[in-house]
């Protein structure tokens, strides 16, 4: 009999991660001769360890199809690290016991860089322990920092939300600047990578349009220079809109959102750059300032998702199944760009071992020479990723999203206590920054 499939979601969720789940489900449906039942692990690897599985075969087919336009993590996601196989052998023994108890031969893990570390660990452990398991990673992160892929599913929709919000907020600020707010600061996610900050640059049609200043995680922040730039912009235009990465650092490498003397930044939830910058502007220039922290809004705004992003998210999920059906193992589907104009792309694959926990930051060629905006090369790269609209259905004026029944799979093993986490995952906001992905 064909082995069963287990799918899990991990890390900060996105507006399109469920589109990847939809792609996996569609792929399994097309290969019923190759796969058995399809299950989902509640809260990712945590559910796998706890034997907390959901039976997707019992869900209504139309509800599963609606995952394509539903944000959030339909099955629950987690931030949880597996330890090294050598010192945490019991974790992997438990996983293999759960897999064996439910005849699971395929494990699809949908997440960012840290989640691909987990997928690779499970892949290696199964091989060393002699358990017949195919492991495939499925990429997602709004940070766009996954290695080996042209873009990360989830980024395009978050980028579209950020660019749209900046353009709209700027019109508000400009209309009131004479007698009210003169400076508006928006802080976006990105612990080490300034991709979302860069995406805000797409709001600018002409050189003087907002955002006038972009602060990248890749560039050191200089207070006096920043204040001077704000002053010059207000003098010239009457107002100034700033977009800042949450991972902004000073020339000594200290995060602006972290209190002095705190040297364990990997444990810290970021968020606080915008109010810090606002206070600098108030103190040094005396302007009225407003700031905003989109937080979860930027990663959950499915109502304004990029059509490109939705299509790519579904495509990598389906491709992961195709690869598994063809006998591939320990791989992750990735997006390959063939051209910018017209935008053409395909789905390729890379080994999990090559990309697990490897970050890709904004290249120098994408940051303007003065360090405060994006280049035309960045625009050519970013524009196709936010292209197109993929509206969810609306009922009574609000989006109608999938609501799963959540049919539990009967447990057959003893309860399992999770190990206490001794450290958060390494990496970008996928791993514990300001709600990142």
Cβ within 8 Å of residue 150, ≥6 positions away: 334, 335, 336, 337, 345
Give the catalytic positions in this structure: 143
Residue 57 CA from chain centroid, whole number = 28
Cβ within 8 Å of residue 342, ≥6 positions away: none
CB 112 within 8 A of CB 9: no
Q: Which of 432, 437, 436, 434 lies closest to 81, judged by CA? A: 432
Q: Which of 15, 44, 20, 349 lies closest to 154, judged by CA? A: 15
Structure tokens at 203: 């709001």
CB 233 within 8 A of CB 213: yes
CB 199 within 8 A of CB 374: no
- Find where tokens 């907020």 sit: 169
User: In 10 A of CB 62, how many CB atoms?
Assistant: 8
215 strand-pairing partners: 244
The string over 287-310, giving b where at least 16 C-beta atoms fall within 10 Å of a residue's C-beta and e elsewhere, is bebbbebbbbebbbbbbbbbbbbb
Q: Positive or negative CA dihedral for 41, 42, 46, 47? A: negative
């Amino acid at each position: 009999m064909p082995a069963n499939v287990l799918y899990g979601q991990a890390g900060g969720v996105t507006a399109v991660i469920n589109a990847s789940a939809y792609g996996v489900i569609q792929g399994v449906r097309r290969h019923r001769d190759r796969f058995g039942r399809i299950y989902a692990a509640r809260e990712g690897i945590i559910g796998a360890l706890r034997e907390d599985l959901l039976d997707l075969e019992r869900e209504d087919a139309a509800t599963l199809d609606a995952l394509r336009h539903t944000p959030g993590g339909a099955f629950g996601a987690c931030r949880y690290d597996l330890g090294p196989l050598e010192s945490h052998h019991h974790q992997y023994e438990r996983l293999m016991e759960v897999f064996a108890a439910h005849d699971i031969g395929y494990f699809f893990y949908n997440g960012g860089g840290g989640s691909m570390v987990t997928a690779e660990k499970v892949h290696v452990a199964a091989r060393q322990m002699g358990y017949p398991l195919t492991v495939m990673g499925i990429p997602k992160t709004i940070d766009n920092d996954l290695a080996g892929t042209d873009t990360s599913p989830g980024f395009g929709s978050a980028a579209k939300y950020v660019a749209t919000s900046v353009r709209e907020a700027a019109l508000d600020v400009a209309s009131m600047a004479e007698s009210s707010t003169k400076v508006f600061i928006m802080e976006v996610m990105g612990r080490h990578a300034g991709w979302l900050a860069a995406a805000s640059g797409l709001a600018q049609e002409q050189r003087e349009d907002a955002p006038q200043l972009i602060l990248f995680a890749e560039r050191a922040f200089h207070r006096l220079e920043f204040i001077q730039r704000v002053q010059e912009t207000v003098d010239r235009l009457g107002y100034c809109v700033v977009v800042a990465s949450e991972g902004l650092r000073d020339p000594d490498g200290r995060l602006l959102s972290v209190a002095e003397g705190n040297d364990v930044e990997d444990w810290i939830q970021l968020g606080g750059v915008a109010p810090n910058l606002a206070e600098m502007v108030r103190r040094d220039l005396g302007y009225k300032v407003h700031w905003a922290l989109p937080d979860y809004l930027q990663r959950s705004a499915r109502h304004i998702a990029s059509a490109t992003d939705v299509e790519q998210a579904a495509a990598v999920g389906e491709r992961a199944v195709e690869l598994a059906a063809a006998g591939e193992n320990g791989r992750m589907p990735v997006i390959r760009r063939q051209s910018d104009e017209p935008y053409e792309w395909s789905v390729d694959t890379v080994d999990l071992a090559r990309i697990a926990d490897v970050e890709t930051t904004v290249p120098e060629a994408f940051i303007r020479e003065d360090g405060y905006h994006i280049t035309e090369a960045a625009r050519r790269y970013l524009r196709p990723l936010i292209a197109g609209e993929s509206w969810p259905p609306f009922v009574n004026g609000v989006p109608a999203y999938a609501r799963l029944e959540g049919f539990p799979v009967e447990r057959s093993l003893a309860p399992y206590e999770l190990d206490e986490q001794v450290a958060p995952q390494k990496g970008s906001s996928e791993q514990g920054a300001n709600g990142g992905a």
